[in-house]
Amino acid sequence: MVAVRAVTRRQALDLRLRAQQLDRAAGTVADTALLDIGVQDTGADGALWALAIRGLEHPPPDELATVWTIRGAPHVYRRADLPTVAAATAPFSDADAGKRIFDASRPLKAAGIANLTALDTVADAMRSIVREPMVKGELSTRLTAALPEPYLRFCRPCNAVHTYEQPFRLAALRAGLELEAGTSPPVLRPVPGLSPAANVPARLEVVRAYLRLLGPATPQHVAGYLDAPVADVKAHWPADAVEVSLDGDRRWLLADDVDRLDDGPGEVTRLLAPFDLYLQARDRSLLLPDAGHAKDLWRVLGRPGGVLSRGEIVGTWRARKSGAAVTVSVDLWAPADRVAVSDQAKRLAAFRELALGGVEISD
């Protein structure tokens, strides 16, 4: 019997920090690990800030593309990877598709329409409508007119009938559409010749990427991240995933990462945006054991960013813009390198191309 490697909380978090390159000074689009799983582009400090704090300060815009993928959220990938991303992020099965589109699956089931068939139907309609850049609202209006009743719902906030949101988002990449970066409301445009690749290289397999960047983990953690059924995740579990014991809990790591557990701590300070991948792990209690602090960090509305210092999340931060300056407010729960926190606030201001109005640190 092969002995199961024991892993401490500190080793696990340090491994994630290094795997996500939060300790890196500089890099390229090609060697940035987060672009394998996608960098969520939500909020004022979205994907580009996540890349900047990992050493990719000024990525060439034409090398990146934004598409709706995991959980229907906008994510940034390497443009060259888009065909493979379309295949890698697609639902694993019809049951998976049904779980990912939430309540939209009920009227489809009642009408005898398979979930994957529905996504293809929405994608075909989108493809026929979007011939040039189009604002989401216009596409939604035209799509509503093109689809039959099982695809539509009455939206109380809009006081109108339109397509369900998740099928709309998850079908866009199937239709060969990307989002124009920085547009609000979103503008969609066709990517000439884009269609899902026949094969997915190992580095872009989403289950594998989660284990590499957020391991040690369980199938339940990965399923929660993808909004996928656990059974589908288990069916796509990497053959080279090995069992480890994390403070007594059964988890898995990729075999190549086991030897990296002893590489040492990550002595860095970073201001992580609210939807940074480091904060997206589905084992929140490992990252932040204090329930009160966890509730403060992962608020349902108005979520702040997290302060990473010396390997721990030690507080939250917010940025307040006023004119041509930005003030960064930091609320610390634990000791932190305040000089380093202030330096990161300066970095944020420079990233936003604003003057730093001040750094307010409270504890």
Residues 54, 60, 63, 64, CA torsion sign: positive
- CA 49 from chain center: how many Å? 13
Q: What are 331's strand-pairing partners?
A: 316, 362
Q: Look at residue 159 in the predicted model and tell me its pLDDT.
A: 80
Start-to-end CA span in the chain (Å): 50
Residues 6+ apart with CB under 8 A from 260: 15, 18, 19
- CA 10 from chain center: how many Å? 23
Residues 6+ apart with CB under 8 A from 290: 333
pTM, 2 dp: 0.96
Q: Look at residue 33 in the predicted model and tell me its pLDDT.
A: 98
Do the bridges between strand 355-362 and strand 325-332 make them parallel or antiparallel, or are there none, so unpaired? parallel
| Cα atoms in the 13 Å half-sphere on the side-chain side of 118 | 33
Q: Look at residue 263 in the predicted model and tell me its pLDDT.
A: 81
Sequential DSSP letters for 227-254: T--HHHHHHT--TTEEEEEETTEEEEEE
Q: Look at residue 162 in the predicted model and tell me its pLDDT.
A: 87
Sequential DSSP letters for 311-336: TEEEEEEEEEEETTEEEEEEEESS--
Q: Look at residue 282 in the predicted model and tell me its pLDDT.
A: 97
Residue pair 280/50 in contact by the 8 Å Cβ criterion? no
Can you give the pLDDT of all 363 residues of the chain as single tens digits?
A: 567 999 999 999 999 999 999 999 999 999 999 999 999 999 989 999 999 999 999 999 999 999 999 999 999 999 999 999 999 999 999 999 999 999 999 999 999 999 999 999 999 999 999 999 999 999 999 999 999 999 999 888 778 888 999 999 999 999 999 999 989 999 999 999 999 999 999 999 999 999 999 999 999 999 999 999 999 999 999 999 999 999 889 999 999 999 999 887 778 999 999 999 999 999 999 999 999 999 999 999 999 999 999 889 999 999 999 999 999 999 999 999 999 999 999 999 999 999 999 999 998
